[in-house]
Amino acid sequence: MAKSVPLGARGEAEDTVQFEHTLRARHPDLPPVYSTPEMIGLMERAAFHALQPYCEGDEITVGTSINIEHRTATGIGARVRAEAVLQSFDGRFYTLRVTARDECSEIGRGMVGRAVVSVSKFMERMKKSRT
């Protein structure tokens, strides 16, 4: 990343919980509540949005670690907003504090790690590993 990312850089992502985002979509005996993997995906998108404006050329950031608590259930139709705030960085590795809220309360929180990669270099490495 040629551009310096300021601590406190923020990103958001928002979604409305649909059936396909629920536990029941994975198994009929489970309740129709927002699944943890869906919440984590929303948090990761918020983290991506926080860092992407600072990437250059074909750079993107990819997830490297997660430490998330899913604290409260939320159901179909709820609007969920995730926010990510840059807490620290070490070279090309970034740590962001993330939260997810529905209309009533915080439903999840934690930390995610992301790393900067060049898409072209990444794809080249993938080609070599398959041959």
Tokens of 60: 């993107």
- The answer to whether position 24 is within a domain reads yes
- The answer to whether position 4 is within a domain reads no
Distance of CA 87 to the CA centre of its chain: 15
- The answer to whether position 2 is within a domain reads no
Answer yes or no: 99 catalytic.
Answer: no
How buried is residue 84: exposed, middle or buried, by Cβ count under 10 Å (0-12/13-18/19+)?
Answer: buried
Q: What is the pTM of this model?
A: 0.92
Instruction: Give residue-wise pLDDT tens across range 85-95.
Output: 999 999 889 99
Answer yes or no: 36 catalytic.
Answer: yes
- The answer to whether position 5 is within a domain reads no
Sign of CA dihedral 35, 115, 49, 108: positive
Among 44, 49, 74, 83, which one carries the catalytic annotation? 44
Cβ pair 26, 36 in contact under 8 A: no
Among 12, 16, 20, 36, which one carries the catalytic annotation? 36
Q: Domain total for the chain? A: 1
Instruction: Give residue-wise pLDDT tens across range 31-76.
Output: 999 999 999 999 999 999 999 999 999 999 999 999 999 999 999 9
- The answer to whether position 3 is within a domain reads no
Answer yes or no: 44 catalytic.
Answer: yes
- The answer to whether position 83 is within a domain reads yes
- The domain of 28 spans 10-130
Closest-CA residue to 81 (of 115, 110, 107, 113)? 107
CATH of the domain at 108: 3.10.129.10
Among 21, 22, 38, 70, which one carries the catalytic annotation? 70
- The answer to whether position 73 is within a domain reads yes
